[in-house]
């Protein structure tokens, strides 16, 4: 997959991540926040299960060798989904997405800088710091009412 195709896929995923919380928030009006998050994860898990068994080339045998913290992604995902379901009706989709994006950017910059989790190390420079500051200003403007 080329980097351009990957970048386009990331934009589609970003759009999908923006569509998900309002849909889940509407479901929460009928079933409650935690139940809506559970349904969201259940449907997503079913889709991934089908895709894993039909397209997957990996092996679940490696789970026995995974470290405990490598299972925490689902915990973070559950927190993310439940919190967005709770926050979107109160703050609005734009404000929630702005806060999420800037926090993801800041944490991502730290992960890159320190090469956390064995990722490639990309040092912070003035260009990256300036971009982060501009994003923070943007979030402040979006949250401002």
Q: Is residue 15 part of a domain?
A: yes
What's the domain range around 30? 3-56+73-143
The pair of structure tokens assigned to 40 is 């969201």
Contacts of 94 (CB under 8 A, 6+ apart): 142
Q: According to the model, what pLDDT value does residue 23 have?
A: 96
Q: Is residue 68 part of a domain?
A: no
Q: According to the model, what pLDDT value does residue 20 have?
A: 94
Q: According to the model, what pLDDT value does residue 58 have?
A: 79
Q: Model pTM?
A: 0.82
Residue-wise pLDDT tens digits, 76-107: 999 999 999 999 999 999 999 999 999 999 99
**Largest CA-CA distance found in the chain, in angstroms, rounded:** 52
Q: Is residue 81 part of a domain?
A: yes
Instruction: Measure the CA–CA gap between 31 and 37, rounded to whole angstroms.
Output: 10
In this prediction, the residues of the chain whose per-residue pLDDT falls under 50 are none
Q: Is 125 helix (H, G, I), strand (E, B) or coil?
A: coil
Q: Is residue 64 part of a domain?
A: no
Domain count, the chain: 1
Instruction: Measure the CA–CA gap between 33 and 82, rounded to whole angstroms.
Output: 6
């Amino acid at each position: 997959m080329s980097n351009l195709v990957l970048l386009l896929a990331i934009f589609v995923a970003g759009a999908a991540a923006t569509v998900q919380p309002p849909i889940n928030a509407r479901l929460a009006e009928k079933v409650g926040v935690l139940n809506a998050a559970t349904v969201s994860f259940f449907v997503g898990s079913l889709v991934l299960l089908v895709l894993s068994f039909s397209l997957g080339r990996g092996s679940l045998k490696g789970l026995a060798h995974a470290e405990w913290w490598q299972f925490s992604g689902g915990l973070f995902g559950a927190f993310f989904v439940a919190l967005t379901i709770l926050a979107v009706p109160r703050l609005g989709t734009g404000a929630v997405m702005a806060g999420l994006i800037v926090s993801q950017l800041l944490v991502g910059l730290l992960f890159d800088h320190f090469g956390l989790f064995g990722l490639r190390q990309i040092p912070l420079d003035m260009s990256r710091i300036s971009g982060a500051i501009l994003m923070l200003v943007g979030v402040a403007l979006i949250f401002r009412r």
